[in-house]
Amino acid sequence: KGDTNRSVPPLRALESKDFRFLDSVPLSEAEMRGKRGPQKTSRRSSIKMYSDMKFLCNFIEDKAKENGYDVDDLSPENIRRMFEVSAELLKSLLKKNQRGQEQGRWSSLLPRLRKHLKAATTTTTTTTTTTTTT
């Protein structure tokens, strides 16, 4: 449904071209903090950011479907419940810093999630193959 008051369309309606404006937006000082190398002053490609966002949204939606939630019900309460289903796994993929606090960065969480899902798929495929052959 998006936010009609602020003219924000629903994420489902967005395409990669809708994110292209980000390529021309300079990084703030806070965003440059901790970045090194030749890409210190450049932003990640908007197409990659769109792909990551879409991947995360699809993951949350798939987890919600697995747990019997109606993904077509876009009420704030239902969306919050759908997110909470996947939040525990997402939180477990975050690393803790020296003070024991979780450090969540978009750029580090998604590769860990992809790796986790790939390992789970490989394990499922191996188990299915072993069960089928015996």
Check residue 104 and give its pLDDT.
67
Check residue 98 and give its pLDDT.
60
pLDDT > 90 fraction of the chain, expressed in percent and rounded = 16
Check residue 123 and give its pLDDT.
76
Residue pair 27/43 in contact by the 8 Å Cβ criterion: yes
What's the Cα-to-Cα distance from 104 to each of 9, 107, 112, 128, rounded to whole Å?
Answer: 26, 9, 11, 34
Examine the pLDDT at 66 and tell me if it is beyond 90. yes
Q: What CA–CA distance (Å, rounded) separates 44 from 112?
A: 18
Check residue 33 and give its pLDDT.
78
pTM: 0.71
Q: What is the mean pLDDT of residues 57-83?
A: 90
Instruction: Give the tens place of pLDDT for each residue, 74-107.
Output: 888 988 999 999 988 888 887 766 666 666 677 7
Helix runs in the chain, H state only: 29-32, 46-66, 76-92, 106-133
What is the rounded average pLDDT for all residues in the chain? 81
> Residues with Cβ < 8 Å from 32, sequence gap 6 or more?
40, 41
Q: What is the mean pLDDT of residues 108-130?
A: 79
Check residue 133 and give its pLDDT.
55
One-letter amino acid of 34: G
